[in-house]
Amino acid sequence: MFQMVACLLIGVAATARIAAKITNVSLMGGLIACGVILLLIAVVGLVGAVRHHQVFLFFYMIILFLLFLVQFAVACACLALTPTQQKGMLAQGWAKSTSTVKANVQIWFDCCSFNNSYPNPINDTDCSMDSLLQLKCCSNKTVEGSEAGSSNSCLTTCPKCVDAIREHLKRAIKLAGIIGLIFSLTEV
């Protein structure tokens, strides 16, 4: 059973980490580590049970209890993140991201600029001409350099990337936290 739980933890946490795109959520790394350790400990418990080896089973129980404490703490931390903390993590990740990553995120989430301000206070090149032309929200609008006007029309119709990314991050962190919490309680 613990092998399936470990694989589920690893999968959900990895999905949450990928969904964030621009931010490195260390809490997801903690859940992935808990899943890997649980997988290894499950093998130790299986070997101890098959061989009726008391020392293996003793260490299995001790390490499983310590893993429960860590997994419970990480799951609670995932569930306790406030929207302000999430936005701060995203702002740090956006500021550290390369322009290629920012362009890919804007295309993926169909958004423009982190705070949707023009010029952007974080980076004036967040919504470049190439990025604007690939966005669905700008398909029927004017972009900078065209005869009809400036890129402000796209910036007003496209959503802010912070809001689009935060929704995905919020769902992923909450799901990972709930799964981590539920399965940490089954370890006791």
Greater pLDDT, 3 or 54: 54
Confidence of residue 67 (pLDDT cuts 50, 70, 90): confident
Q: pTM for the full model?
A: 0.67
Question: Do residues 49 and 91 share a domain?
Answer: no
Residue range 174-184: mean pLDDT, rounded:
85
Residue 142: what pLDDT?
52
The rounded distance, in Å, linking the Cα atoms of 40 and 2 is: 10
Residue 149 — pLDDT band, cuts 50, 70, 90? very low
How confident is the model at residue 153, as a pLDDT?
57
Q: What is the DSSP letter of 21?
A: S
Category of 179 on φ-ψ map: left (φ > 0), alpha (ψ -120 to 50) or beta: alpha
Residue length of the chain:
188
Range of the domain at 7: 2-80+168-186
Which residue would you say has higher pLDDT here, 160 or 59? 59
Spatial separation of the C-alpha atoms in residues 148 and 142, rounded to whole Å: 6
Task: Specify which of 65-69, 123-127, 144-148, 150-154 reaches the highest per-range mean pLDDT.
Answer: 65-69
Q: What pLDDT score does 165 carry?
A: 82
Domain match, 135 and 180 both: no
Kindly state whether residues 112 and 180 are assigned to the same domain: no
Enumerate the H helices of 52-160 as residue ranges. 54-80, 83-96, 99-109, 129-134, 152-157
Same domain, 52 and 105: no
Cα–Cα dist 117/126, whole Å: 10
Residue recorded with tokens 């293996």: 56
Q: Are residues 106 and 160 in the same domain?
A: yes
Mean pLDDT value across residues 76-104: 83
Number of domains in the chain: 2
d(CA 63, CA 60): 5
Whether 64 and 103 share a structural domain: no
Is the pLDDT at 7 greater than 80, yes or no? Answer: yes
73 and 142 in a single domain? The answer is: no
DSSP letter at 114?
Answer: S
Lowest-confidence segment of 23-27, 85-89, 177-181 by average pLDDT: 23-27
| One domain, residues 26 and 56 | yes
Q: What is the chain's Cα-based Rg?
A: 22
C-alpha angle 77-188-15 in degrees, rounded to nearest 5: 45
- Whether 13 and 75 share a structural domain: yes
139 and 174 within one domain? no
Residues 48 and 95 in one domain: no
Residue 151 and residue 182 in one domain:
no
